[in-house]
Structure formats: structure tokens, C-alpha cells
């Protein structure tokens, strides 16, 4: 396959590769919103296992927001890039200010996507962590680090497409990778889809509600 039609097709392709986990009572599919949710929905539906979202927000360096000094994730988990913090001599006050700001946005998204459902316990779980594709891998790496703190049994990363070099980098952080397309010349995630329209908050909420209804 050279490219996917859309995220739904990508999810179906990944679900085929993840068939060994069908009806695994200890497994959960966690999607990185927003684009990871339509992909993950197809996986969760096909494997008949629960679906939830794992939200990660980058902690940008003050006045250089694109540069990450860490990340905050669902379940109140914070991971730091200590090298950047030391190198730029970022004060605790500045770090706390950024954390509080990103915490608010994370809470807003949690409320929008998950309503008042409590965050699931991930201890000893088999986690299938899903996104619609990976370029630099910064968000995925932050998600994996944050999830490791929850003491899961294992983490399987499942993505439709990722830069080959990024896949190799992440391989040592997870217990398994399912990634059918690993181009050397990557360009951008959207280049590997015919239809890569933005996933809306409403779509995320709708798919999560649908998955929960199907799981009952």
C-alpha cells in the first residue's frame, strides 16, 4: 500500500495486524487526540476492547513555545526534558507557570472528550497506543514516558505511518510496534493519506461515546 484513503481505512489496516489482541480482557486502546481517535476507534471496535483518550500537552519554553521542556499528560503526569531546562536555566517559577497554563487546556480537553468519566486505571494493563502518524515523535515519546509511570504490563505503539528513523528511535521505549508504512523520505503525516481533513472535537466526542455504548 502506498497511502491510506483516510483515518478510518488506516484504523482497519492496523486492526488486522492487531488481531492477536481480540477480546483481550486486560487490554485498552488509548488514542492521542484528535487525529488518533478515528484510527483507534476502528481498532477498538474490531478487537472488542475499550477505547479512551490519552491527552498530551507540550510544555513549551517561555517565549520559544515550539521548543519542549517537557510534557503534561492525562492522569496528572508531568515529564521533563531536564537537558533543555538546565541548558536554558529555566526557573521553577517559569516552569510552574507553563504547567498551570497547559493543565487548564488539558482539563478543558478532558472535559470536552471524556465528560466526567474517571480516568481508567492503567496498572498492569496492555496498552495499545494509537496516533494517525508520527513525524518527529515528540508527542508520542512524551505519552510513552507518562504511561510508563502508570505501571502498565506493556505498551504497543500502533500507527499507520511513521518516519523510519523515528520508529527505530521509539522501538526501545515500547514492547511492540505496529506500523505498516515506514518511509525513509517522510515529508509529513498528511502526505500518506488521500483525505487528511482535520478531526474536530465533536468527532472525537462522538466516537468515544459510540465506543462506550458498543462496549456495554
pLDDT per residue as tens, the chain (216 positions): 689 999 999 999 999 999 999 999 999 999 999 999 999 999 999 999 999 999 998 899 998 887 889 888 887 788 888 889 999 999 999 999 999 999 998 888 888 888 778 888 999 999 999 999 998 888 898 899 989 999 999 999 999 999 898 899 999 999 999 999 999 888 889 999 999 999 999 999 999 989 887 765
Which CATH architecture does the domain made up of 7-54+121-215 adopt? 3-Layer(aba) Sandwich (3.40)
pTM above 0.85, yes or no: yes
CATH number of 57-114: 3.30.1310
Q: CATH 3.40.50.2020 residue ranges in the chain?
A: 7-54+121-215
Q: CATH 3.30.1310 residue ranges in the chain?
A: 57-114
> 86 pairs with which residues across the strands?
none
Closest by alpha carbon to 195, among 160, 166, 158, 165? 160
C-alpha to C-alpha distance for 214 and 129, rounded to whole angstroms:
20
Query: Can you read off the three cell numbers belonging to residue 70?
Result: 517537557
C-alpha to C-alpha distance for 191 and 4, rounded to whole angstroms:
10
Amino acid at each position: 500500500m502506498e497511502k491510506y484513503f483516510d483515518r478510518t481505512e488506516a484504523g482497519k489496516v492496523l486492526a488486522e495486524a492487531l488481531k492477536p489482541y481480540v477480546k483481550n480482557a486486560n487490554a485498552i486502546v488509548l488514542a492521542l487526540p484528535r487525529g488518533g481517535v478515528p484510527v483507534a476507534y476502528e481498532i477498538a471496535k474490531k478487537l472488542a476492547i475499550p477505547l479512551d483518550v490519552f491527552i498530551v500537552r507540550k510544555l513549551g519554553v517561555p517565549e520559544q513555545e515550539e521548543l519542549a521542556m517537557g510534557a503534561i499528560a492525562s492522569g496528572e503526569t508531568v515529564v521533563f526534558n531536564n537537558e533543555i531546562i538546565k541548558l536554558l536555566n529555566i526557573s521553577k517559577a517559569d516552569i510552574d507557570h507553563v504547567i498551570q497554563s497547559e493543565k487548564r487546556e488539558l482539563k478543558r480537553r478532558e472535559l470536552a472528550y471524556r465528560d466526567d468519566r474517571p480516568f481508567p486505571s492503567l496498572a498492569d494493563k496492555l496498552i495499545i497506543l494509537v496516533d494517525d502518524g508520527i513525524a518527529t515523535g515528540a508527542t508520542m515519546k512524551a505519552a510513552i514516558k507518562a504511561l510508563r509511570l502508570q505501571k502498565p504490563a506493556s505498551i504497543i505503539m500502533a500507527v499507520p505511518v511513521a518516519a523510519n528513523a523515528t520508529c527505530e528511535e521509539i522501538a526501545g521505549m515500547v514492547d511492540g510496534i505496529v506500523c505498516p508504512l515506514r518511509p525513509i523520505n517522510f515529508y509529513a503525516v498528511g502526505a500518506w493519506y488521500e483525505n487528511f481533513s482535520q478531526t474536530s472535537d465533536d468527532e472525537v466526542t462522538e466516537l468515544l461515546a459510540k465506543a462506550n455504548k458498543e462496549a456495554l
